[in-house]
Amino acid sequence: MSAEITDHLQHVSAEVAEETCVFNARLEDTLRTLPPVTVVPAPRVRAARRLGKGTFPAPVFLPDLHDLEVPGRAGPVKLRVARPTRDMTPRGVYLHIHGGGWMLGASDLQDPALAELATAVGVVVVSVDYRLAPEHPFPAAIDDCEDAARWLVERGAEMLGAPARFSIGGESAGAHLAVLTLLRLRDHRPGSAFIAANLVFGAFDLSLTPSARDWGDRNLVLSTPIIEHFVSSFLPGRSAEELRAPELSPLYADLRDLPPALFTVGTLDPLLDDSVRMAARWHAAGGSRELRIWPEGVHGFTAFPISLARLADAAQFTFLDRIYAASR
């Protein structure tokens, strides 16, 4: 294990470690019985996930959350809004970008997680329902995320009744889109209002880092063929060299003048190197960064009902709370 990983590996109790290993074994057994997403059309996978069939827990739709639409260059962009409890005055807005390999997921499929974050940090959480591949390949998703971010910065905070202090975050493909959104805002709007980035098991090199390239066929939510399938659906026809363009793979971008970032990833995630390398590059560019590597965490582990997920969530809440407290 490299020194970089060892330095940032989080300590967990023996009970948490055992629970995680038992869960991972059950998950791998379950995934062996399911057809991989590489062979099932994306609309069918989306419909099954909405019904609670497949890898992740069944979605819970909370009545306290609501949707709104904001202008976008290709038409209205839907946002899912979660507010902190009624007795809390919001401290700002958190722009959330969901994961799903740029092909799956939706803004309303993680209501409890959005509501928990909103109350734990004291922010209004706004999740973007961006257009999905393969029907809408690059740049549709990032255009929608940028449009949502610009609306928030220009007028959204006032409409949401929150101070104009913004953070951004996402999981997997959502973390990738979050960084691209920050880069677009930085390049076209000097002095971006975003004060923090919460980047959870992100994909930052779409040509594949060594851990993604060498992982192989073992399916623990992701595998090398699944990653390649997602990337080729999002960015069809690109060579490895073309996929390293900074506007596609932020690992190769100029990362100067970006806000403090927290990188979260598990040791059993094919995208482990993405977070490790991106955190190093963020730091080299002069940015503040924290890297937390969770033992035995698989890709997407924070979505599962295990103690390791709650520990990682708590670390994210603490990071965001600290930055909002310092920004007053």
> Which residue is catalytic, options 107, 127, 172, 275?
172
* Annotated catalytic residue 108: no
- Side-chain-side CA neighbours of 185 within 13 Å: the count stands at 29
> Which residue is catalytic, options 96, 176, 229, 299?
299
* Annotated catalytic residue 2: no
Q: What is the CA radius of gyration of the chain?
A: 18
Helices 140-151 and 173-188, interaxial angle, to 10°?
60
> CB within 8 A of 45, min separation 6: which ones?
37, 54, 103, 104
Which residues is 292 bridged to in the sheet?
A: 264
Which residues is 95 bridged to in the sheet?
A: 126, 168
**Which tokens is 86 given?**
């009624």
310, 304 contact by CB (below 8 A): no
* Annotated catalytic residue 172: yes
> Which residue is catalytic, options 129, 269, 273, 274?
269
- What residues are annotated to the active site? 172, 269, 299
